[in-house]
Amino acid sequence: MKLAIAFTLPVLALTLLAVQPVQCFPQYQAFVEKNSGRSVNCAMCHRNDDGPTGTGFGQIGSLSQDDTNQLNKARISFEPGSTVDNPILNKFGNEIIHKIGMKKFLELLSDPGKLPQALGNKSDLDDDGIPDAQEYLDGTDPLNKYHGDPLKLFFINLNRSKFQILITTVAVLLLGYGLTHLLTGFSLLTKTDESK
C-alpha cells in the first residue's frame, strides 16, 4: 500500500503539472521589491525577463520536446539535490531548486523572507563576494558580478585588492621620496655651480 502511494503521488503531481498552466510566483518578487526598494523582474530566477509564459526564449511556448520533458522532470524535483535543470529557469533559479527542492520552495511562498536562510551563504554564482541569498534580499542580480550593492562591492573589492593597494601605495611613497631627494640634489648642484 505504501509503495503504491509513494509511486502514485509523483505520477499524479506530474500529471497535474503537465496539464496546468505555468504558475509564476509573484510572492518572491513582491518580497524582494519591498525588502530592497528596487524594482526586479522575472529575470532574477527565469531565463526570460517576462517570466515563463510566452513564446520567447526560455519560455514555455518555445521549448522543444526534449526541453518540455526536462521541464516536467524538474517540476517534480520535490526534494533537494536534484540534478535536473529546468529549461525556463536561469542558473540562480535552478540553484534554488537544487539547494532546497520544489517542496520547500512552495512551502516558503507564505514567507518568502525565509528563502535566504534556506539557501545559506555558501553559494555565490557570480563570484562577486556577495552570497546569492544576500543578493536576493538586496534585489540585485546574483548572476552579474558588476550588479550588487555598491557599498558592499566597494568593501569586498577593497579587501580583495588590499595587497595591490599596499604595493601601489609603497611604490608611490618611494617614488615621492626619490624625487624629493633628486630635486634636493639638483638644487645643491645648482647652488654649488653658482658659488664657483
Are 154 and 130 within 8 A, CB to CB?
A: no
Domain ranges of the chain: 2-146, 161-195
Residue reference for cell 511562498: 109
Question: What b/e string do you get for 116-139 counting C-beta neighbours within 10 Å, with b at 16 or more?
Answer: bebbeeebbbbebbbbbbbbbbbb
Write down the pLDDT at residue 24: 63
φ, ψ at 4 (rounded to 5°): -65, -40
- Stretch 111-139: mean pLDDT: 96
pLDDT greater than 70 at residue 28: yes
Q: What confidence score (pLDDT) does residue 76 get? A: 87
As a whole-number percent, the residues of the chain with pLDDT over 70 amount to 86
Task: State residue 180's pLDDT score.
Answer: 92
Total-model pTM = 0.73
pLDDT tens-digit series, residues 152-191:
999 999 999 999 999 999 999 999 999 999 999 888 888 8
Local confidence band at 6 (pLDDT 50, 70, 90 cut-offs) = very low
